[in-house]
Amino acid sequence: MSVDRMHGAALGKAAGLPAGPIQSLRGTTYHRVHDAILADIVNGTFAPGARLKIADLCARYGLSPMPIREALQQLQGEGIVVMSPNRGASVRAIDRRFVADIYDVRGALYSIIYRDAIAAADSTLDREIVEIQERFDRMVEEGDLSGCQAQNLLLHATIEAKCSNREVASLMEKYGNLTSSIRNVFGYNIVRLREISVEHWKIINAVLSRDVQLAISEAQHHVKNALANISQNFGEQA
């Protein structure tokens, strides 16, 4: 598969599936069910406010209730699905405004994340983040989708693990999972992946030099560019 459509052809198919059972999801994990439901939400198959009935979802995806319930619970945790008493699950609007608000929060939290990360930084952290980014770069050129995604998440998680503020760390995990899930629906192209590499190295170099303000600035610039890129998928300008 071309690196220009890095993330999962299966998700693209899920976004345009007919109402009948989805054979490719039979016997799979709830993670892929999660991605398929999210794709249907993002592309408008499930409109904002629509109820997500277990029986209907079982019929659509050709699955038993268990993986459907697990996927809905994960989507609820990410803020994409709302669970109400006596009503069940319903869809939250996923539009550019929603995504922009999430990225805005992430950018604001970076001031605490990088303050703590650099205060706790040592040679082990330095070595780890450099090695992670070097692997990311190799995987970009190899067109290794899952590898790129894993290293991207690992780099941010390694830095964010140094945050001593548990509330901030919890929010970063929540919003990081949410933006990662939405990004998975749309994928990356090779141009954006190479831009990410440049942005990552600027952040890493700021950490290596123990420059807190520069690290915060570069991390916030990274978030701004990520929002601008993903906004193109909503047909709106960043």
CB contact at 8 A, 117 and 207: yes
The pLDDT confidence band at residue 28, using thresholds 50, 70 and 90, is low
Mean pLDDT check: name the lowest of 14-28, 45-59, 126-140, 203-217. Answer: 14-28
Q: What is the DSSP string of 167-188?
A: HHHHHHHHHHHHHHHHHHHH--
pLDDT for 51 beyond 50: yes
Whole-number Å distance between alpha carbons of 159 and 114: 8
Whole-number Å distance between alpha carbons of 36 and 211: 41
Mean pLDDT check: name the lowest of 16-25, 54-63, 162-171, 213-222. Answer: 16-25
CA end-to-end distance (rounded Å), the chain = 29
CATH 2.60.40.420 fits 3-91, yes or no: no
* Structure token digits, residue 95: 């539009």
CB contact at 8 A, 198 and 226: no
pLDDT for 14 beyond 50: no
Residue ranges of the domains in the chain? 3-91, 96-234
Name the nearest CA neighbour of 228 among 108, 101, 41, 100: 100
Mean pLDDT check: name the lowest of 7-16, 135-144, 201-210. Answer: 7-16
* Structure token digits, residue 80: 């994409």
The pLDDT confidence band at residue 203, using thresholds 50, 70 and 90, is very high
Give, in degrees to the nearest 5, the angle at Cα 103 between 101 and 105: 70
Whole-number Å distance between alpha carbons of 174 and 107: 14
pLDDT tens figures, 84-132:
887 789 998 888 888 899 999 999 999 999 999 999 999 999 999 999 9
Tell me, which fold does domain 96-234 have in CATH? Four Helix Bundle (Hemerythrin (Met), subunit A) (1.20.120)
Residue type, 110: Y
